[in-house]
């Protein structure tokens, strides 16, 4: 896969967008590693490290996840004032979490502690299931508004974080363009202004570094809930998917 310099640059900023937003929100999963070495259809990947195994998720954690998921797109907006199709997965992920917050987990004040759309599905063996919405157009509209409000709030918060930390965004992105991979320690050093040892990996595409990251189990669970179309690497923000 040959990638143009322009796309590489967009990808680096996109990934650092995820990284920087996640770093600035205490409730986020900590960033583990970020890379712009292409893997499969993804031009870049950010992976996260869970502090401890979670079994339930707080509203704040979910809002944080939506926010750093939109961090990549926010970086494209803030730096290049443009969007690419590469944020499609991030958008889908953020929307799905927000919708479940409203429709399953009762986290919208307006809609209240009610379940929406969990209607009766009776499986007759070998026959199909048609899932119908079990609420009115009026309620559908309320749900849409709440979901849109949650995602938009995350978008705005991500953009604000990046604008407030624009220097760090540039510094990290340039370093990522140079080294292609950055781990948590290196990111930390860059942010503190410390010198990094010379990049060895650049251009080498060292296999051991790019081997598939383990997706944290607790994240898999969240995403595997039946209504989220589970992406292959759910808690990695694949910055710029090649479409």
Q: List the interface residues with a copy of itself, window 102-161 (CB under 8 A).
A: 104-107, 111-116, 118, 120-122, 124, 126-141, 143-144, 147-148, 151-152, 155
Query: In degrees rounded to 5, what are phi and psi of residue 42?
Result: -90, 135
Helix spans in 121-165 (H): 137-164
Sheet of strand 181-183: strand arrangement: 181-183, 31-35, 45-48, 237-238
Nearest in space to 29 (alpha carbons), one of 238, 241, 239, 237: 237
Which residue in 1, 167, 194, 197 binds a copy of itself (CB under 8 A)?
1
Of the candidates 196, 158, 148, which has an alpha carbon nearest to the alpha carbon of residue 174?
Answer: 196
Largest pairwise CA distance in the chain:
64
Dist CA 52 CA 165 (whole Å): 28
Least gap, CB of 228 to a copy of itself (angstroms):
8
Element (H, E) at 190: helix 184-192
Neighbours of 227 (CB within 10 A): 11
CB of 98 to a copy of itself, least distance (A): 8
Q: Clarify whether 146 is annotated catalytic.
A: no
| Dist CA 17 CA 162 (whole Å) | 7
Contact between 26 and a copy of itself by CB under 8 A: the answer reads no
Cβ nearer to a copy of itself, comparing 111 with 187? 111
Instruction: With contacts defined by CB under 8 A, name the span among 49-57, 166-174, 193-201, 203-211 that binds a copy of itself.
Output: 49-57
CB of 199 to a copy of itself, least distance (A): 24
Considering only residues 172 through 231, tell me which ones interact with a copy of itself, judged by CB under 8 A: 221-222, 225-229
Q: Which of 5, 7, 15, 217 is flagged as catalytic?
A: 15
Q: Which of residues 55-84 bind a copy of itself (CB under 8 A)?
A: 55-60, 62, 70, 73, 82-84
DSSP, collapsed to helix, strand or coil, labels residue 91 as helix
Shortest gap between Cβ of 219 and a copy of itself (angstroms)? Answer: 11
Q: How far is the CB of 196 from a copy of itself (least distance, A)?
A: 28
Interaction with a copy of itself in 82-101: which residues (CB under 8 A)?
A: 82-88, 90-92, 94-96, 98-99
């Amino acid at each position: 896969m040959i990638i143009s310099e322009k796309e590489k640059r967009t990808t680096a900023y996109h990934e650092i967008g995820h990284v920087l937003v996640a770093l600035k929100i205490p409730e986020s999963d900590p960033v583990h590693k970020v890379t712009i070495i292409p893997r499969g259809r993804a031009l870049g990947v950010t992976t996260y490290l869970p502090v401890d195994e979670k079994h339930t998720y707080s509203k704040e954690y979910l809002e944080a996840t939506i926010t750093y998921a939109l961090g990549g797109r926010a970086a494209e907006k803030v730096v290049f004032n443009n969007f690419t199709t590469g944020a499609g997965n991030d958008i889908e992920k953020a929307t799905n979490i927000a919708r479940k917050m409203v429709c399953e987990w009762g986290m919208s004040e307006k809609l209240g502690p009610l379940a929406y759309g969990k209607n009766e599905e009776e499986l007759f063996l070998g026959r199909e299931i048609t899932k119908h919405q079990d609420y009115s157009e009026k309620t559908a509209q309320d749900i849409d508004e709440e979901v849109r409000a949650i995602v938009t709030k995350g978008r705005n918060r991500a953009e604000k974080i990046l604008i407030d930390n624009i220097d760090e965004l540039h510094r990290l992105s340039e370093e990522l363009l140079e080294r292609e991979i950055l781990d948590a320690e290196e990111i930390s050093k860059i942010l503190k202004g410390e010198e990094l040892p010379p990049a060895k990996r650049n251009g080498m595409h060292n296999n051991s570094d790019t081997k598939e990251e383990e997706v944290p189990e607790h994240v898999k669970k969240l995403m595997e809930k039946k209504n989220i179309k589970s992406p292959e690497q759910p808690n990695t923000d694949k910055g710029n998917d090649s479409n």
